[in-house]
């Protein structure tokens, strides 16, 4: 029997959901999967193409890369539009600021080099470094992931940056929200030991869908109770913590670390488990 045998865990992810669920099931968990967002296909996203075209038509002074997956997805989409080489050439002339090793890996994988990498892997450190370098009159491309970051981008505009936001992996609510409502019912009924989130948009839209379900107060009470609410990192946790929900986060912002955290926490705290 695995360490999570007999334990029910809710998973809200769409991207890499199979990998995450498979890891939990290898430990014996019973996984209830209800994606709370649907990702807009990159090559079919007119807003992403529009932003890319604007960037290849003018020099780029500063490039901000917030996620490795988002940066790679952007370049892949640009390749489908016949714009990848032009885009890479423009970004090569810019100062590139990356949020941690995954973003750095994607930048270097494209044959580029970063000017700065945020050691804490936080958006706060990343955008502080960009602002400190001076952005007045600078054409600045910010690659977002799933959701806007106005608390970080608005100060750049106020400081005089000419900002272009590039948002790979825009999301919408899933076409069928019934599985999410069913997951909410299971949480309220006390059927789950834990709920896991791997992205901030998934967490935020989960709360939005809870409101439309009419069970938001009951859900909040359950999430503030014995149920373990685990997030891959502080950015993902932010919408939940803003709602007064305490979260657990692994030391490293990685999917594998999140799985190990769940194994350790649930194995120690559930009755009858040592």
Give the domain ranges of the chain.
8-37+173-269, 42-171
In this predicted model, what pLDDT tens digit does every residue of 212-226 receive, in sequence order? Answer: 999 999 999 999 888
Confidence of residue 41 (pLDDT cuts 50, 70, 90): low
Residue of 254, 261, 269 whose CA lies nearest to 19: 254
CA distance 228 to 248: 7
Write down the CATH number for the domain with range 8-37+173-269: 3.40.50.10090
What pLDDT is recorded for position 146? 67
Contact 50, 74 (CB under 8 A): no
Indicate the average pLDDT of the chain.
91
- Of 225 and 271, the structure prediction assigns the larger pLDDT to 225
Tell me whether strands 139-143 and 162-166 are parallel, antiparallel or unpaired: parallel
Query: Do the Cβ atoms of 53 and 89 come closer than 8 Å?
Result: no
Alpha-carbon distances of 223 from 65, 108, 156, 240, rounded to whole Å: 33, 40, 36, 9
Scanning the structure block, which residue is given the tokens 């890499």?
16
Q: Would you say residue 273 has pLDDT above 50?
A: no
Determine the angle formed by the axes of helices 178-188 and 216-223, rounding to 10 degrees. Answer: 50
Instruction: Summarize pLDDT for 147-187 with one digit per residue, the tens.
Output: 788 999 999 999 999 999 998 877 889 999 999 999 999 99
- How confident is the model over 45-51, as a mean pLDDT? 89
Q: Treating both helix axes as pointing N-terminal to C-terminal, what angle do 100-109 and 68-80 enclose, rounded to 10 degrees?
A: 30
| Interval 249-256 mean pLDDT | 89
pTM: 0.66
**DSSP-based three-state secondary structure for 60:** coil
Domains 8-37+173-269 and 42-171 share a fold: yes
Residue 10 sits at the vertex; the CA angle it makes with 101 and 121, to the nearest 5 degrees, is: 15
Q: DSSP secondary-structure letter at 248? A: B
- Report, at the CATH architecture level, how domain 42-171 is classified: 3-Layer(aba) Sandwich (3.40)
């Amino acid at each position: 029997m695995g360490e999570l045998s007999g334990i029910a865990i809710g998973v809200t992810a769409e991207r890499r959901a199979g990998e995450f669920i498979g890891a939990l099931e290898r430990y014996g968990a019973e996984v209830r999967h209800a994606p709370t967002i649907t990702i807009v296909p990159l090559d079919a996203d007119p807003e992403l193409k529009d932003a890319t075209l604007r960037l290849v038509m003018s020099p780029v002074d500063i490039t901000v890369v917030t996620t490795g997956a988002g940066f790679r997805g952007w370049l892949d989409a640009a390749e489908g539009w016949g714009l990848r080489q032009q885009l890479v050439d423009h970004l090569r002339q810019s100062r590139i600021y990356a949020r941690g090793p995954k973003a750095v890996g994607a930048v270097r994988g494209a044959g580029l080099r970063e000017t700065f990498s945020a050691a804490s892997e936080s958006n706060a450190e990343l955008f502080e470094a960009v602002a400190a370098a001076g952005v007045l009159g600078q054409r600045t491309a910010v690659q977002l992931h799933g959701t806007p970051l106005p608390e970080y981008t608005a100060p750049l505009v106020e400081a005089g940056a000419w900002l272009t936001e590039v948002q790979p992996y825009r999301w919408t609510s899933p076409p069928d929200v019934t599985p999410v409502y069913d997951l909410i019912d299971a949480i309220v009924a006390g059927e789950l030991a834990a709920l896991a989130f791997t992205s901030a948009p998934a967490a935020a839209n989960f709360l939005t869908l809870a409101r439309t379900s009419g069970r938001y107060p009951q859900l909040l009470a359950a999430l503030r109770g014995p149920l373990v609410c685990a997030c891959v990192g502080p950015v993902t946790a932010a919408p939940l913590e803003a709602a007064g929900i305490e979260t657990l986060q692994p030391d490293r912002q990685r999917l594998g670390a999140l799985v190990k955290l769940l194994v350790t926490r649930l194995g120690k705290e559930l009755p009858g488990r040592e």
